[in-house]
């Protein structure tokens, strides 16, 4: 998958308010992450809805899930976040020149 396709998939996953809320919460949680129950409690989201949205974020490579005993801990993939933001900003303020055809 190209970098552009990966970024498009990540942005599409973040294009839903619930998933954006989940992702921002996980970013705030840091490397320790949060288990599914804690995410649901913070966001007042039913478990089935949360599972659906987490699945989308995991598929977009934005969230890493790790089993710790009986619980599943979710944490933001900070490398993926940096790649996504970096793709959007890597040519910031460099200027744009329009391509024109020769009038020959």
Does residue 94 fall inside a structural domain? no
Asked if the structure places residue 21 within a domain, the reply is: yes
pLDDT score recorded for residue 82? 96
Q: Is residue 69 over pLDDT 70?
A: yes
Count how many domains the chain has: 1
Q: Is 102 a residue whose pLDDT tops 80?
A: no
Record the pTM: 0.86
pLDDT for position 99: 80
Residue 84 confidence (pLDDT): 95
CATH number at residue 34: 1.10.10.10
What is the predicted pLDDT for the residue at 96?
86
Domain that holds residue 7: 3-87
Residue 50 counted as domain residue = yes
**Among candidate residues 83, 19, 5, the one with its CA nearest the CA of residue 53:** 19
């Amino acid at each position: 998958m190209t970098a552009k396709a990966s970024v498009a998939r990540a942005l599409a996953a973040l294009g839903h308010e619930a998933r954006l809320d989940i992702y921002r919460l996980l970013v705030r949680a840091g490397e320790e992450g949060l288990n599914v129950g804690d995410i649901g409690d913070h966001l007042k989201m039913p478990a089935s809805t949360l599972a659906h949205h987490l699945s989308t974020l995991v598929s977009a490579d934005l969230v890493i899930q790790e089993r710790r005993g009986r619980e599943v801990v979710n944490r933001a993939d900070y490398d993926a976040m940096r790649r996504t933001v970096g793709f959007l900003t890597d040519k910031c303020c460099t200027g744009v020149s329009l391509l024109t055809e020769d009038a020959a």
